[in-house]
Amino acid sequence: MPHSSEQNSEDHPSRLNRRDMLLAGTAMAVVSTATVAMGTAPTSAQQPQKPNVVFILADNVGYGDLGCYGGGELRGAPTPRLDQLAREGLRLTQFLVEPACTPSRAALLTGQYSIRNGLSLIAIEGSPNTLPARAFTMGELFKGAGYATAIFGKWHLGGEPQSLPTAHGFDEYYGIPPNISWDAATYVSTTELTHSVAATPAELLARGPQIVEATAGRALQTVKPFTPEVRANIDYELIDKSIDFIRRQKAAAKPFLLYLPFSMGHVPNLPSEQFKGKSRIGNYGDKIMEGDYHVGQILDTLKELGIDDSTLVVFASDNGPYGQTTREFGNDGTPDMGNAGPFRGELGEATEGAIRTVALIRWPGKIQPNTTSYAMFSIMDFMPTFAHIVGGTMPTDRPIDGVDQTDVLLGNSAAGHRENLLSFIGADLVAARWKQWRIYFTDVHPTGDGPQRQPGIFSASARMAGYPKVYNIEMDPHEDLIVGGMFSWVSEPALKQVDEYLETVKKYPNPPAPNVTQFHGGRG
């Protein structure tokens, strides 16, 4: 893969003789004098040396949804700004996540498999699992490296005081309730519809999900009810908050981490007035186009403020598409959902289409523009990669499952530093990736019949007859042909990574895994 190579004088100290150093010193003095005469501070005071980081996380946008991944105009929903971001940076084609939103976000923010923090299922109402106080997050990593930090959008890692973003290194937080997701906007209306709670509409609204905000050291505050109307326009609010944060940190000459987990792609796809009807495929397409526009607003702000070149921007999705299980949210029964491209499955499964999705990374002057990497890259890998880039310190008292992929970003390695990945659903290790092979230890299949046929988060798992199922995702991207009989040798390297993981659990036991269907052993 093409890459730029920068030559640093520190690599060749012998090339600087005394005369060179004197000339260099004179030149620096002239520049310094001129700078003072113009009434401006030196460049180092104007611009932090460490890159700013903007991490935009979409929600359930599939591999086949964006133009730069074969979707866009072909899908009836053009994505020009994200396509531009791809041209200006690096496009990952083996970006792998966890099977659902809470697990993927836990993996992103901790650099660990979600099960290590008891978050290997989607957090739902009544679920006891929440981010532990001892978890070390990306917010704490950047905060320790001297960054201002903010999250605007969806946390989904628990609402307990010890689980909040502001308890884990983030200075500012504004968004939806920290323990639930975007569909919470429908809670009040569906409660009214079914008369399930004896309360007036005003009482239901007051009790229902609320937009919240907090700053470090202060308690969570409610702002307003999270209604369908608020849902339709929430990303405008999050972008305004983000732009304000960027402007304030620019004025303070402080490096920043902006984590923007906005709503693009997640049901209910209620488009704003500006984008309603813009696409040719209904609400989902409208919301994809709206999200593309909002990404453009962030990029334009960085350019306007002159910090475009000193900011590393990531756009990624937390999961593959939220598909058949939520068709009822759509347009008159049409398939108002994302597209997994050539891969099989959807959110909630451990299939390739559920865990392989989009990721674009731009860092001018460091990442070669218009490049593509086929390196296997997990969502967990961002944490140690950022630690390398910003000089942050990762904890050593726990297993870190992410790997430093700086070489992939800078074009120094085509293969990267990862060749395997495990997938968990609840307490179960259900699948593994090793190179181009997918290995299933559980048979994940839809439940029900007819219109009630449920894949995704409502799919069922069945025990196998002692042997895993093996697919080659390069020969067979849709995972239609089991090839374990022809390639039985694949089991050895696949099971080796399982053994290595199990050894770490002996030393660092996992907390109880989430479980909201079996209670004979107590709640997890």
Q: Which residues are catalytic?
A: 101, 156
- In the numeric block, the tokens 């860092």 are attached to 363
Alpha carbon distance 166, 44 (integer Å): 30
Alpha-carbon distance of 339 to 344, in angstroms, equals 10
- Contact between residue 167 and residue 111 where contact means Cβ atoms under 8 Å apart: no
As a whole number of angstroms, the distance between CA 348 and CA 366 comes to 35
- Distance CA(346)–CA(338), nearest Å, equals 9
Token pair 């113009």 is found at 38
CB 108 within 8 A of CB 56: no
48: tokens are 């932090």
DSSP string, 420-432: EEEEEETTEEEEE
d(CA 135, CA 398): 10
**What is the greatest pairwise CA distance in the chain?**
86
| Residue 6: partners with Cβ closer than 8 Å, 6 or more residues away | none
Strand 90-96 versus strand 377-378 pairing type: parallel
Neighbouring CB atoms inside 10 A of 309's CB total: 13
Alpha-carbon span 306 to 132, nearest angstrom? 39
Question: For residues 277 and 488, what is the distance between their CA atoms, to the nearest angstrom?
Answer: 51
Q: What are phi and psi of 510, to 5 degrees?
A: -75, 150
Q: Are 102 and 335 in contact (CB under 8 A)?
A: no
Residue 420 near residue 432, CB atoms below 8 Å: yes
Nearest residue to 313 (alpha-carbon basis) of 296, 328, 336 = 296
* CB of 232 closer than 8 Å to CB of 270: yes
